Structure 1
Amino acid sequence: METASLPIKLQPSNLRPIAFRILSKKHGLNLNTDALKVLTDTIGHKFGTAWKGVKSQQYLEEIAKIWKVEDRGLFIDANGLKQIIKDMNSNEVEKAGRTDTIVDEKRPENDNDGNEVEAEDEEVEEEIDWKDYFKVIAPFQQPRSVFDKNRKQFDIVFSKNTGDDLLSRLSKNLPANIESYSIRYALISDRLSRNENFQKNSNVSISALHSMRNGEATSHEITLIKNMLGRDGKKFLLFGMLRKNSNDDYVLEDETDYIELNLTQTIKAPGSFYCPGMFLLVEGIYSASGGNSNQDQDYIGGCFYVSNIGHPPSERREKSLEYYGNLDYLGIHRQVAPLMGEKITKISKKFKKKLINVERNLINHKIIFIGSDLFLDNFKVLDKLKKFFQKLENSIIESDGDIPIALIFTGSFTSTPVVPTNSSITNITNSETYKSNFDNFTNILSQYEHIVNNCKIILIPGKNDPWQSTYSLGSSSLDHFPQSSIPKVFINRLERLLPRGNLIVTWNPTRINYLSQEIVILKDELMTKLKRNDIVFDNDILMEREKLDKEASISNQERINLVIQNKSDMHHLSSKTAQARKLVKTILDQGNLQPFPKLTNAMYDYSLRVEPLPTILVLQDSSFGNFEVTYNGCKVINVGSMNYMEYFPSSKECKFYSL
């Protein structure tokens, strides 16, 4: 019979060495200050004067095992620790209430560990209603994922923002704007630190990494710009943001300093766009002399002669989620803890597998994405919509209720931007015309009762729609992101037509959670932006001239043979496919939907982040044709103009059709 020890008052400094040895050194977990205080109070109360004993240490071992089984991440916080201690206390009470002779016929006899596992399985096996895990999430509804540069972990913050407090957002926008690039730098740096090609012992050069050319292998360790000082003539690999300085010279900037770049001999890693504002890897030689900025005050001095330039490779979604503790970035699984405010839950692997199993069984579920720029002031567009609705209505009737769970329509919904004018009469006319366009859309939709009564209708704005058009004036180069939703005053008839909750008016970009999947939707002319901002290096011009000279020198028969060879080559890509892959790789490597110096509301910069990678990224780029490209496990789709695409979440299959 064990004698119980009386509770004692411990200090965190007393318990810290034992906690560090078991939790940190043995299990690789980090205990923050608040969590250490919680643990100290618990150990002192539970074990008293025996707080150094074997049972106390076994208790810490059990906490570490449960924390890791539940995939709560590398950092033990106070709220998570309280929940685990509460669960452990409940299990102890439950065990104490049992007799040794009671055997649950569902569990192995005399297997205490097995009992606990089965109890957890039973909890996971609770019925899941897919509707609870199908949510459209606008940026203001999405919890803010704030990357802590020191801890290298995300903090999830729920705000009470309704999307309408413009003055509050603008007042906070300046400091957030300053910080947003710093966070992007820190986040990509953290990603690179996990990539085996950038470890200290790696001996792969950036040129070899991107298969550009054979060259001398050098250390692939990234050097900070400030650490090049005094190392004239040495070769380095740098990482930072590419921008132009006041002298119109290209510079690279990291967290320590900036350096002027000489790009005359630079070779690009193929398959990407290179634009100012992007975070890039550059390889080359540092020269203490040269450059145009040596007279600038507080400048490190010298110039960096770049031989190779490339993008920081993206990371698969599963690896990023695992590293950051399987956080629920969209807030779908959150719980409200009493007296502790709102907190984010971690998504356990068991529960995620359950969600995947549910979605695999829902083989009839599909989401239809209708191509962007549906100009409702164009009779040809309205006629195509009538045919589309009729085809869909017939399909629902013939398939005995096989109904799409959502129809997603993306603007612009007018061919001319709704902009303010000097005349109040013109303003009213513009607004009335825009509203009448949606009234016409409503009249058409009302003729198809199966669609009206069963499908969710989701509207995403474009550059010509209010109030985005106030900023952009219809120009993609002046887009302001994120773009707020179409005001409901323009669509009140459509809202009255549909059952309550079936009309969702959301922002651009927007996210959809479907069971285990995260779907990101962006309306933007990304291809045009990337081509317009892509830097042409001297070496690009030289290579193009050599190509033209070579083509001019070959005979007609050789040219025909070359075309035949390219067509027969299984690895030969069409120009469209190559361009699509360039776009996808650039965006996903940058981890941001707008990787340029951009007009954005930095308070919502997290809504433009695609890191960790989403399951599906749907682009609505009317400046380019439809495509489907998968990169690092992320499927990226462009629907294109006057098309629609059916997406089947159970198989992740896409089918394209003309509207």
Structure 2
Amino acid sequence: MDKPSTPRLPLSARGVADPIPSSSPAFGTPVKPVRTGKSSSLHAKPTVLPVLLPPSILRPVAFRTFTRKHNLTLSSNALQVLATFVGQNCGSKWREEGLAERLLDEVAKIWRKNGGGVIVEEGNGTSLQSILQSIENNMVSGRVTPGKVTDREDRPKLQRNGTAATGTNTTSTPIEDEDDDAEHNDTRKWIKTISAFEQPRLTYNPTNKHFETSTTKPSLLPQPSHQTAFWRDRHNLVHQRLLRNESFQTSSFASNVTQSYKISPIVNLLGRSGSPHLLVGLLSLSPTGELSLTDLTGSIVLDLSHARPVPEDGAWFSPGMMVLVDGIYEEEEIVRGSVLGGNGGIGGAIGGKFLGISIAGPPCERREVTLGLSSIHSSRDIGTSGGFGWIDFLGVGSERAQGQRMRKLENRYLRHNTSGESENNRRNMVIMGEVNLDNMNTFDALRHVFKIYNALPFEELPLGFVMIGNFIEKVGFGQGSGGNSIEYKECFDTLASLLSEFPALLRHTTFIFVPGDSDPWASSFSTGAASPIPCKPIPELFTSRVKRAFTVANNEYDGSSTNSIPGEAIWTSNPARVSIFGPVHEIVVFRDDISGRLRRSSVTFSERASQPEGTDHSNLAGMSVDDTVMKDDAEDKNSESPSVLATRKLVKTVLDQGNLSPSPLTSRPVLWDYASSIQLYPLPTALVLADSESPAFAITYEGCHTMNPGRLLSDGKRGPATWLEYDVLKNRARVRQRGN
């Protein structure tokens, strides 16, 4: 007689999919169909017994993971959120089995990949809550399932919670939806135009040493306190830049102590009469009409009668600039420069005066240093260390989140042609300044320029045309003889007719229009004076005919043969920024007659003995000038022409100040809530200073290629047309004229 045995379960019941037997195993009851699928409640992930985890207990593990391993800093609120999340999802085994450390490491990786800031907190570049939610949906027994976290991104989005980072895309597809093997092999799809009103509004926090996104709603008529915040943020930005400079850092080796500079707050001058100090602050005019220096602690009257500018005749110094002054404090009982008089104190005017010995602008900081780019390898990969590489200054992705990938795309699109044999010839941008459309000679010059590029094959067409105003030569739009809306629209209608003669340019290039002070509507209220910056784009009321010309040209052409995206016209603000391949190339375009304003308001220093012949201008070292610029002004090739020296002086002043408008608000008004759009920190890769009062030039200083297209027609009459041809890959421009 055989031994009794329990009937075996059906194969379906013994499978891996459903290992639990039926309710009556002795009778071999078949497993119910409802229990066979993966959605069965019996297959829910094992539960974890939650624990209450105080943030102080988790802090050592979080510090080891976020700070030491990923170079990130946790805010107290973020630590509280993570402690609650770890306690609920990892349970009592968060420490013994290392579940918390693995979880925090995954959070840090996703935070960095999403372009979050150095300080981990909600709204600082990405959403911490969304990261934790995506991780929670893919956790089993307190462990993150490998390869199933859906919120991992290789590139940040253009717009995130808590930021105002939206960019004007030249195509209808944002960056995050682009693929490396996209259908169109056209560099123009990586060109993004960012208006000053769409750029992220970032302010520097000196306490956390970090940039923060402004949470207040911007206004064209803000509270007076916003002006104070505007000057304070500008001072903090320059001050932290100075402290990062190695000349202001003390050596840690006692045997090799080098001289380092130490900045003294103005309030520390009290009681130190006759002692030397180095001050940094805002150069301004006091209520009594005397020059004064102001920082966050107070102000003091300056005596620059014996001061020496550094470098000698190499930069402008005018009210509204941040300057370094080295000198001696001379105490007096009466507070000079104060309206009320009396003794000075903290936060007000300091009694006495400061005898300046030398005055200089804050030293410029290269873009690579600001973003923490230590080196660029042969593979175009970048090593990073320190800096603000995690900050998304333009809303197109931070350097550390996007830089490596975008440089690979640059290598693919610009360094190789369609056959992959040599560099791509389609990498130029044409820049024209002071395009006065109410002058009929301008259309003759434009027709000549367009004919030059329209005759080129598709592989050599420029990427785009940057046309900069003033588009109307008359001063004061809507003010008497300053022009009216009908006349202004007719100017652009004529431009649309001219563009229709060159359909190849309309189909394969991007036109970017930047207004000037005489363009509507800001000039309607300025009456010829400098209008506030940033200025809004030209209203669509005047530009509809130009846009229609692009639409007609694209509808009549099938671009499948050239594998390119349609051409378009973009109307942006002044200033504006053009991003190419994300953070790799940043081009700032600004229309302003800044050189004349600096000459009129600059400080005049006492005369000294004239310099001997053959003086070495080494104080301007680091600048390289295009040899085609202002060549007619230099009679001797071995000597620097006055125009070149004046150009170097202008470029050094603007880039050292790190601001597009280093002038008082009375001479160049600024919209306080949009002041971050005029900052030049970090330095852009290229800067277009469209100054109609200066000749065309192209100069490189501290890695920033600065150029001025000048006037399209130098005398406003029939004559040679002048414009710039900018090579994006080489980051160099050359001045071209009709017939060259």
Q: Report the TM-score range of the alignment, normalised by the length of the smaller protein.
A: 0.7 to 0.9
Is 2:692 aligned against 1:649? no
The match for 2:478 among 420, 435, 460 is 420
The match for 2:191 among 131, 134, 153 is 134
The match for 2:702 among 629, 632, 637 is 632
1: distance between equivalents of 2:76 and 2:541? 51
2: distance between equivalents of 1:50 and 1:320? 42
Is the CA contact 2:118–2:390 (under 8 Å) kept in the aligned structure 1? no
TM-superposed CA distance for 1:467, in Å, is: 1.6
Identity %: 31
Compared CA separation, residues 411 and 238, structure 1 to 2 (3 A): same
Is the CA contact 1:367–1:407 (under 8 Å) kept in the aligned structure 2? no
Which structure 2 residues correspond to residues 79-118 of structure 1 after superposition, within 5 A? 79=126, 81=128, 94-95=145-146
TM-superposed CA distance for 1:624, in Å, is: 0.8
List runs of 5+ in structure 2 lacking aligned partners. 1-45, 149-176, 373-386, 417-423, 555-566, 616-633, 713-721
2: distance between equivalents of 1:33 and 1:153? 16
2: distance between equivalents of 1:319 and 1:20? 26
Is the CA contact 1:224–1:238 (under 8 Å) kept in the aligned structure 2? yes
Bigger shift: residues 27-36 or 253-262: 27-36
TM-superposed CA distance for 1:26, in Å, is: 7.6
Is 2:541 aligned against 1:489? yes
| Aligned twin of 1:591 | 658
Compared CA separation, residues 228 and 52, structure 1 to 2 (3 A): farther
2: distance between equivalents of 1:359 and 1:418? 44
More helix, by proportion:
1
TM-superposed CA distance for 1:219, in Å, is: 4.9
| Aligned twin of 1:433 | 487
| Aligned twin of 1:506 | 572
Q: Which structure exhibits the higher relative contact order, with contacts defined as CA atoms closer than 8 Å and separated by 6 or more residues? A: 1
1: distance between equivalents of 2:510 and 2:243? 43
Which structure 2 residues correspond to residues 298-447 of structure 1 after superposition, within 5 A? 298=344, 299-322=349-372, 323-333=387-397, 347-361=401-415, 363-395=424-456, 399-400=457-458, 402-421=460-479, 430-447=484-501
2: distance between equivalents of 1:487 and 1:327? 32
| Aligned twin of 1:143 | 200
In terms of Rg, which structure is larger? 2
Please state whether the residue corresponding to 1:347 is helix, strand or coil: helix
Amino acid at match of 1:368: M
Please state whether the residue corresponding to 1:248 is helix, strand or coil: coil
2: distance between equivalents of 1:488 and 1:245? 44
Please state whether the residue corresponding to 1:365 is helix, strand or coil: coil
Is the CA contact 1:369–1:407 (under 8 Å) kept in the aligned structure 2? yes
Compared CA separation, residues 440 and 24, structure 1 to 2 (3 A): closer
Is 2:90 aligned against 1:34? no
The match for 1:289 among 300, 322, 332 is 332
| Aligned twin of 1:181 | 231
| Aligned twin of 2:247 | 197
Q: Deviations over 1:605-628 (max 9, x none)?
A: 111111011111011111111111
Is the CA contact 1:527–1:621 (under 8 Å) kept in the aligned structure 2? yes
1: distance between equivalents of 2:110 and 2:550? 46
Amino acid at match of 2:208: R
2: distance between equivalents of 1:348 and 1:378? 44
2: distance between equivalents of 1:96 and 1:468? 54
Which structure 2 residues correspond to residues 492-641 of structure 1 after superposition, within 5 A? 492-499=544-551, 502-515=568-581, 516-538=584-606, 541-543=607-609, 572-598=639-665, 599-641=669-711
TM-superposed CA distance for 1:388, in Å, is: 1.7
Is 2:289 aligned against 1:248? yes
Please state whether the residue corresponding to 2:455 is helix, strand or coil: helix
Q: Deviations over 1:567-618 (max 9, x none)?
A: 8895x42222221111111111111100111211112111111101111101
Compared CA separation, residues 418 and 283, structure 1 to 2 (3 A): closer
1: distance between equivalents of 2:330 and 2:97? 61
Is the CA contact 1:366–1:404 (under 8 Å) kept in the aligned structure 2? yes
2: distance between equivalents of 1:202 and 1:296? 44
| Aligned twin of 2:172 | none
TM-superposed CA distance for 1:237, in Å, is: 0.8
Please state whether the residue corresponding to 1:227 is helix, strand or coil: helix
| Aligned twin of 1:76 | 120
Bigger shift: residues 79-88 or 180-189: 79-88
TM-superposed CA distance for 1:196, in Å, is: 0.8
TM-superposed CA distance for 1:245, in Å, is: 0.6
Is 2:29 aligned against 1:12? no
TM-superposed CA distance for 1:259, in Å, is: 1.3
Amino acid at match of 2:366: R
Please state whether the residue corresponding to 1:519 is helix, strand or coil: strand
Compared CA separation, residues 650 and 96, structure 1 to 2 (3 A): closer
Is 2:532 aligned against 1:480? yes
Compared CA separation, residues 65 and 483, structure 1 to 2 (3 A): closer
| Aligned twin of 1:225 | 266
List runs of 5+ in structure 1 lacking aligned partners. 98-122, 162-167, 204-216, 334-343, 551-565
Figure out how many residues of one structure are paired with residues of the other and give that number.
Answer: 573
Amino acid at match of 1:311: G
TM-superposed CA distance for 1:517, in Å, is: 0.9
TM-superposed CA distance for 1:54, in Å, is: 6.5
2: distance between equivalents of 1:221 and 1:542? 29
Compared CA separation, residues 279 and 296, structure 1 to 2 (3 A): farther
2: distance between equivalents of 1:239 and 1:456? 43
TM-superposed CA distance for 1:32, in Å, is: 0.3
TM-superposed CA distance for 1:272, in Å, is: 1.1
Is the CA contact 1:225–1:259 (under 8 Å) kept in the aligned structure 2? yes
TM-superposed CA distance for 1:221, in Å, is: 0.9
Is the CA contact 2:247–2:260 (under 8 Å) kept in the aligned structure 1? no
TM-superposed CA distance for 1:157, in Å, is: 5.4
TM-superposed CA distance for 1:152, in Å, is: 2.2
Which structure 2 residues correspond to residues 273-284 of structure 1 after superposition, within 5 A? 273-284=316-327
Compared CA separation, residues 435 and 47, structure 1 to 2 (3 A): closer
Compared CA separation, residues 50 and 579, structure 1 to 2 (3 A): same
Compared CA separation, residues 350 and 494, structure 1 to 2 (3 A): closer
TM-superposed CA distance for 1:445, in Å, is: 1.8
Amino acid at match of 1:287: E
Bigger shift: residues 612-621 or 460-469: 460-469
Compared CA separation, residues 39 and 325, structure 1 to 2 (3 A): farther
**TM-score, length basis structure 1:** 0.78
Amino acid at match of 1:606: S
Instruction: Report the RMSD for the aligned CA atoms in angstroms.
Output: 3.4
